[in-house]
Structure 1
Amino acid sequence: MTKTIVLSTGNVVSSGPSIIRKNGAYRSNLELTSSLRNNIREAKEEFANTAAENGQTNGNGTQTPVSVWTEEDGDVLYVPRINWQYGGLQEEPSQYDITVKLFYLATGTSSSTRVKHTREALSLVQKELRIQQVDLLIISFPGMSFEGDCEWEADKQNAGQGNDEEELPTWSALELLQKEGLVKNMGIAEYGSEKLTRLLERAALKPTVDQINIKNCCNVPPPLVELAKKHNIELLVHTDCTDILPKGTLRELLGQGPQGAGVLADKGSNSPGLRGDLIPQWVIKYTAVVRDRGVIENKGYFAGAELRDA
């Protein structure tokens, strides 16, 4: 039996100083894990009084039981539970540029499964922001990076990364999202000149954006610049971490440790919590920018994982 666990951060823009921020580029994996811990802590505090009033404690009378601050809907467990009535944007959706970036985390996944995950992730963002369409969906496949001693070496190494036989069918299947009006434009992440050429040769829908991290090689490879210019593809740089939610990090986050949420039982122990093999599947990052002012009003993450019987 498989259970889906959906984690959420809420709006990290309004979360205050409790989210750790560092000087310089702020990697998304640090922002994600810090924001998840913060949101879980706030949910526990929010429901603590209700639990005490109802006599719901975990034996010692101090801890808020997991069932109080999480929510189960069929085979989906929301961590923490989401109060959807507080979602939405302050102005009309037409006043915003809304970008989402979807990180596929598991390898060996079929295109149909990835499309299913994409629809699930997009529906969460739509519900959170109360929108019907996102302006840009950027897809990030696992096993991709842009690293090397120079831009030429990074581009060369990138050519052999990932798995075209998984990525190209997924991209083609995702084209339907644009036809349905759920997505206005689609982009790709971490595609060098050779990877992008192979995508353009086989895909009916070309990406409007190629987002790359050039932290280690400093410059964009000239062949990629030429190819993007030829096909009118905008090149964007980012500081996101490709391995945004490792399996060990997620288990620690939900486990019984000092900073754990207490949702999962410790392996090989009699501790309370859910048991099984936890496999991160995807993370979606969303950003809503007020178009006229260039101000980020809403930014957050959802993450999806599968808990499979051991």
Structure 2
Amino acid sequence: MGTDSRAAGLLLRRASTLHLQTGNLLNWGRLRKKCPSSHGEELRDCIQKTLNEWSSQISPDLIRSNSSSMRSAVEMACSALGIAQLDSVIIASPPVEDGVNLALEHLQPYWEELENLVQNKKVVAIGTSDLDKAQLEQLYQWAQVKPNSNQVNLASCCVMPPDLTAFAKEFDIQLLTHNDPKELLSESSFQEALQESLPDIRANEWVPLWVLRYSVIVKSRGIIKSKGYIIQAKRRDS
């Protein structure tokens, strides 16, 4: 193991929070695999490459923030892209215990953070992911800032449910599709990527808190100009 890797491990042992930004993936050329088979595989490759680049340069400047995770994610994305406002933010449903159905009370604290970001003009529009008709209706009726979109996983349905389609049409909610796994970045996958990049650290002490994936699309042309990930991780019990 080289000196840079040991120094990086030393910095992380002293830290309690890790913010990882990949930058524009379109400028990277090829990742470790020529064509990642999924977003999850692409994300793990990005974590390893970003950590390797960081450890070779050893920059101890870690962003510290006491604000909400949602605000932190949005502010980091704006900073990375050099902009003041995001056009759209879509939140993936927060994890719930096995056997527990996602309810409005699970979504409310996250949605209130998004509403504050809209009111403060940091975000223009906010949307949801993987909500069925009943869940989307409950959120819509409660929310002050209404969801303007809802993503549906292609793995869960080949055809949009008719009741969801009718509700979305009535209230002008755009239905989108995605093919992300249920868990984009597992704790074990993050720790494996961390350990492989920085063998001198105790990777099992670190857990990912949130992942933000962003993309910049050329208006009216549908061409992706930039895309990347931002991850926040935290040391256990810190």
- TM-score clears 0.5: yes
- The answer for unaligned runs of 5 or more in structure 2 is 1-13
Instruction: Name the structure 1 match of 2:146.
Output: 206
CA distance in 1, matches of 2:79, 2:199: 27
Partner of 2:192 in structure 1?
A: 252
Q: Distance in 1 between matches of 2:25 and 2:63?
A: 28
Measure how far apart 1:42 and its partner are. Answer: 3.4
Cα-to-partner distance string for 1:241-264 (whole Å, 9 max, x where unaligned): 231111111111112xxx332362
Q: Identify which of 157, 161, 175 aligns with 1:217.
A: 157
1:129 is aligned with what amino acid?
L
User: Structure 1: where are the runs of 5+ without partners?
Assistant: 48-67, 77-112, 145-157, 268-276
- The code of the aligned residue for 1:136 comes to S
Q: Does residue 1:191 correspond to 2:158, yes or no?
A: no
Residue equivalent to 1:262: 199
Query: Does residue 41 in structure 1 map to residue 52 in structure 2?
Result: yes
Once the two structures are superposed, the pairs formed by residues 77-96 of structure 1 within 5 Å of their partners are none
8 Å Cα contact 2:194-2:203 kept in structure 1 = no
Distance 2:194 2:200 in 1: 5
CA 1:212–1:19 in structure 2 vs 1: closer, same or farther (change >3 Å)? farther
Alignment-derived partner of residue 106 in structure 1: none
Contact 2:103/2:135 (<8 A) preserved: no
Mapping of residues 142-291 of structure 1, within 5 Å: 142-143=94-95, 161-255=101-195, 259-262=196-199, 264-265=201-202, 277-291=205-219
Query: What letter corresponds to residue 35 of structure 1 in structure 2?
Result: C
Larger helix proportion of the pair? 2
Provide the residue aligned with 2:91 in structure 1: 139
Provide the rounded CA distance (Å) in 2 between the counterparts of 1:21 and 1:224: 38
Once the two structures are TM-superposed, the CA of residue 28 in structure 1 deviates from its matched residue by 1.6
Secondary structure of the residue aligned to 1:140 is: coil
Structure number with the bigger relative contact order (C-alpha 8 A, sep ≥ 6) is 2
Determine if contact 1:143/1:161 at 8 Å carries over to the other structure: no
Q: Report how far residue 162 of structure 1 moved.
A: 2.5
Counterpart AA for 1:11:
N
Q: Closer, same or farther in 2 for the Cα pair 1:44/1:260, shift >3 Å?
A: closer
**1:71 equivalenced with 2:60 (yes/no):** yes
Are the structure 2 counterparts of residues 251 and 204 from structure 1 closer, same or farther at C-alpha, using a change threshold of 3 Å? same
What number of residue pairs does the alignment pair up? 223
Matched residue type, 1:126: C
Q: Name the amino acid aligned to 2:71.
A: R
Q: CA shift at 1:135, angstroms?
A: 0.4
* Partner deviation per Cα, 1:254-309 (whole Å, 9 max, x = no partner): 12xxx332362266xxxxxxxxx322211001101111432211100011111024
Q: Give the alignment's TM-score, normalised by structure 1.
A: 0.65
Shift in Å at residue 176 of structure 1?
A: 1.3
1:289 and 1:295 in contact (8 A); partners too: yes
Q: Is the Cα–Cα contact under 8 Å of residues 9 and 32 in structure 1 kept in the other structure? A: no
Give the distance between the partners of 1:294 and 1:74, measured in 2 at CA.
33
Quick check: 2:20–2:50 contact (8 Å CA) kept in 1?
no
Aligned counterparts of 2:129 and 2:82: Cα–Cα separation in 1: 26
- TM-score of the two chains, using structure 2 as the length reference: 0.83
Separation in 2 of the partners of 1:234 and 1:13? 27
Q: Percent identity?
A: 28
Structure-2 residue corresponding to 1:30 = 41
- In angstroms, what is the RMSD of aligned CA positions? 2.6
* Aligned twin of 1:125: 77
